[in-house]
Structure 1
């Protein structure tokens, strides 16, 4: 079957991203997940790389559909005859003609390879968005973790202030003062280390988004805990829209068309020619029309090697598709279960551990001010609160990572 045009039109992730993508230069005051993903997909370098690949595939498809160039020949033959020399001039224009249909099949194969290139471009956009999504939530998690550590350090500073006031009114052991001071130093060091981790994550996200060097980190908007995932059946039904699987199917179709074209190798390519033959003799001039037909004899090369190559490519691409499809199904099922379980665990932990830890820390602070609790008990309450908050963030981030991987594995359905 001959394809008349390349199917580039239609709403698709690639078309939308390329149509509206512009280099991101402004420094946003706030940033959410969708804006980070859009900026990553709209980078000029990514657009140029994708468009370049598509243009090359289109050019190959156009080339495959071109007719061979005609050939013009001129021949002059001078022979001696009685009474003078005879001059024979021959003018011939010849054109190869494909009577086997191989050219049309190869053009269709080139169109399918162009479809595969288009799918590869969409896959690059999907992966760029997935990377931005992961980095955005890494920055968000580290921002919240830093805030929790700063809260821990602040509470220790308040306790240090209370200890100083208590020392003025009653006797406080030097051990308590030194123990609290050491805990405050550890909290401050933790804050600085987490600040460095946050800066590193922001630099990675900044580069992926295409922001200039030195761009300050905006205020991030969004929740670390992911929403409930779509149903497993819905996700599985969306697998067929994955760009990488679509690209493999296009490659299989291209190889099959190449095999069909090679199977017609026994049909020769005929070259037809027409021209003028003119003979000048001393006593006369003769002219005549010249018609030629030529065709190679397919005795040795009948496309056997090309057929085997195309069949091997089809077999390999079909196997790759089956493997990729099975792997995708396993990833979706596993990630769906992981996302669901981690999300439920994170919700339960924050409800059952973080809120009670906050209340215990408040009670411990009041009791220490009243002299009803020693400093070790106070430090234990504050550290327990920070550890509960850190654990809750780790669980939520784990659920978010699983959810992001699930979206990517399922072909980016509506999350």
Structure 2
């Protein structure tokens, strides 16, 4: 029966598919890299954190654009005059009015901060995808490393079987038997240690994907050796799409708008009022319309401190952007070179070392059975094959890690 391959269809559907889609007697379901990345990005907690921060920033923008609440005043004045008391009742409704445009500038600044929060959310999603990608390939590498160690232990087991038959004919010494037994114990211990490493990597990947505890380990579909990276010029051209750099640019724009708003601090905010005034005298009753206009005098605070603060924030954030841009360029160039060199090294090593080591181990096994080679030479051939396979996996994993970091450094696309 062909095993099922899990591909992304939303976090809840993925969990259901993993738990129920594949019968217990069937081969375990398979998981590819893209499904792992999308599952990590689709976790509810990550979505809530991203959307919550963005909603809060947008609420601040809405708040910055609101008109101030009007003020209602009532005043009653009673005075005594010749002939009786005089009552004055005043009803007034006042509304602050921004004639400088500061409110609109501050709202635009808040919207730019919301853009920065959105960019931070995209960066959080990219980081989650990159972490899932690294853990996916860590599980893949440790699975293959465990297979290599099990192959080493199995070959030693076959050699032990041959040695047992030879001992029955008294064709080998007791030292050879003990030496092979010790090597077999070391191989078995290595298998158990690698199994523990694999279990740890799977648990971390499972948690990042949002799968429930106790989920069975899936068979991974994918290659450890990465594909050739894009050209360096293409990668450098994608730097401007990095969410962290976009977020810094939005923060610079917000600070500049705040500075422009502060520069208009010399324009006062008017408060316009209208109402009714009634005067009751013993002999008459009068009333009339009341109009008021008030404005603070910008003698001391004309927004100069706020303007200086916004200008300093613009300068600091611009410097942060320049430093981040330089660092990103260095990361992309370095990771691109590392990916190219490690990938070429891994290809050449697997071609020149692993296959010949496998042939030598097979020849040594046959020669030992024929009595043409001692046990130390046999053990050396088997261990050399395991070391060659392990080194090849380490080189391929190093190239894959560099490739994954390169994708993130160059501005990984996010939904």
- The TM tier, using the shorter chain, reads over 0.9
The alpha-carbon distance between structure 1 residues 61 and 387, as it changes in their structure 2 partners (threshold 3 A), is: same
Deviates more, 1:320-329 or 1:6-15: 6-15
Cα separation, 2, equivalents of 1:266 and 1:5: 67
- After superposition, the C-alpha distances for 1:254-312 in whole angstroms (9 at most, x for unaligned) are 00000000000000000111111110111101011111100000000000110011001
> What secondary structure sits across from 2:288 in the alignment?
strand
Cα separation, 1, equivalents of 2:35 and 2:226: 17
- After superposition, the C-alpha distances for 1:37-91 in whole angstroms (9 at most, x for unaligned) are 1111111111111111011011100000000011111111111111111100111
Q: Do the aligned residues in 1 keep the contact of 2:335 with 2:403 (CA within 8 Å)?
A: yes
> What secondary structure sits across from 1:228 in the alignment?
coil
Q: Do the aligned residues in 1 keep the contact of 2:259 with 2:311 (CA within 8 Å)?
A: yes
Cα separation, 1, equivalents of 2:312 and 2:8: 28
Q: Do the aligned residues in 1 keep the contact of 2:259 with 2:306 (CA within 8 Å)?
A: yes
TM-score when scaled to structure 1? Answer: 0.93
The alpha-carbon distance between structure 1 residues 18 and 169, as it changes in their structure 2 partners (threshold 3 A), is: closer
Q: Do the aligned residues in 2 keep the contact of 1:248 with 1:321 (CA within 8 Å)?
A: yes
> What secondary structure sits across from 1:273 in the alignment?
strand
The alpha-carbon distance between structure 1 residues 222 and 3, as it changes in their structure 2 partners (threshold 3 A), is: closer
Deviates more, 1:47-56 or 1:253-262: 47-56
TM-score when scaled to structure 2? Answer: 0.93
The alpha-carbon distance between structure 1 residues 21 and 296, as it changes in their structure 2 partners (threshold 3 A), is: farther
1:371 shift after superposition: 1.2
1:216 shift after superposition: 1.3
Deviates more, 1:90-99 or 1:164-173: 164-173
The alpha-carbon distance between structure 1 residues 211 and 15, as it changes in their structure 2 partners (threshold 3 A), is: closer
Cα separation, 1, equivalents of 2:133 and 2:312: 39
> What secondary structure sits across from 1:387 in the alignment?
helix
1:16 shift after superposition: 21
The alpha-carbon distance between structure 1 residues 400 and 380, as it changes in their structure 2 partners (threshold 3 A), is: same
1:168 shift after superposition: 2.4
The Cα RMSD (Å) is: 7.6
- After superposition, the C-alpha distances for 1:354-403 in whole angstroms (9 at most, x for unaligned) are 00001111111111111111111111110000000000000000000100
Cα separation, 2, equivalents of 1:381 and 1:38: 43
The alpha-carbon distance between structure 1 residues 209 and 23, as it changes in their structure 2 partners (threshold 3 A), is: farther
Q: Do the aligned residues in 1 keep the contact of 2:239 with 2:411 (CA within 8 Å)?
A: yes
The alpha-carbon distance between structure 1 residues 263 and 338, as it changes in their structure 2 partners (threshold 3 A), is: same
Q: Do the aligned residues in 2 keep the contact of 1:23 with 1:42 (CA within 8 Å)?
A: no
Deviates more, 1:24-33 or 1:182-191: 24-33
Cα separation, 2, equivalents of 1:5 and 1:349: 31
Cα separation, 2, equivalents of 1:190 and 1:368: 24
Q: Do the aligned residues in 2 keep the contact of 1:229 with 1:339 (CA within 8 Å)?
A: yes
Q: Do the aligned residues in 2 keep the contact of 1:22 with 1:43 (CA within 8 Å)?
A: no
Cα separation, 2, equivalents of 1:392 and 1:35: 26
Q: Do the aligned residues in 1 keep the contact of 2:226 with 2:400 (CA within 8 Å)?
A: yes
Q: Do the aligned residues in 1 keep the contact of 2:10 with 2:39 (CA within 8 Å)?
A: no
1:149 shift after superposition: 0.2
Cα separation, 2, equivalents of 1:211 and 1:3: 20
The alpha-carbon distance between structure 1 residues 144 and 21, as it changes in their structure 2 partners (threshold 3 A), is: closer
Q: Do the aligned residues in 2 keep the contact of 1:274 with 1:289 (CA within 8 Å)?
A: yes
Q: Do the aligned residues in 2 keep the contact of 1:153 with 1:184 (CA within 8 Å)?
A: yes
What is residue 413 of structure 1 aligned with on the other side? 413
Stretches of structure 2 that go unaligned for 5 or more consecutive residues are none
Cα separation, 2, equivalents of 1:212 and 1:45: 14
Q: Do the aligned residues in 1 keep the contact of 2:364 with 2:373 (CA within 8 Å)?
A: yes
> What secondary structure sits across from 2:6 in the alignment?
coil
1:3 shift after superposition: 53
Q: Do the aligned residues in 1 keep the contact of 2:109 with 2:255 (CA within 8 Å)?
A: yes
> What secondary structure sits across from 2:228 in the alignment?
coil
The alpha-carbon distance between structure 1 residues 157 and 23, as it changes in their structure 2 partners (threshold 3 A), is: closer
- After superposition, the C-alpha distances for 1:228-276 in whole angstroms (9 at most, x for unaligned) are 0000000000000000000000000000000000000000000111111
Deviates more, 1:16-25 or 1:64-73: 16-25
> What secondary structure sits across from 1:12 in the alignment?
helix
1:27 shift after superposition: 13
Q: Do the aligned residues in 2 keep the contact of 1:17 with 1:41 (CA within 8 Å)?
A: no
> What secondary structure sits across from 1:275 in the alignment?
strand
- After superposition, the C-alpha distances for 1:314-355 in whole angstroms (9 at most, x for unaligned) are 001000000000000000000000000000000000000000
The alpha-carbon distance between structure 1 residues 321 and 16, as it changes in their structure 2 partners (threshold 3 A), is: farther
Q: Do the aligned residues in 2 keep the contact of 1:90 with 1:275 (CA within 8 Å)?
A: yes
1:169 shift after superposition: 3.1
Cα separation, 1, equivalents of 2:120 and 2:3: 21
Aligned length: 415
1:146 shift after superposition: 0.5
> What secondary structure sits across from 1:403 in the alignment?
helix
Stretches of structure 1 that go unaligned for 5 or more consecutive residues are none
1:123 shift after superposition: 0.5
> What secondary structure sits across from 2:5 in the alignment?
coil
1:9 shift after superposition: 22
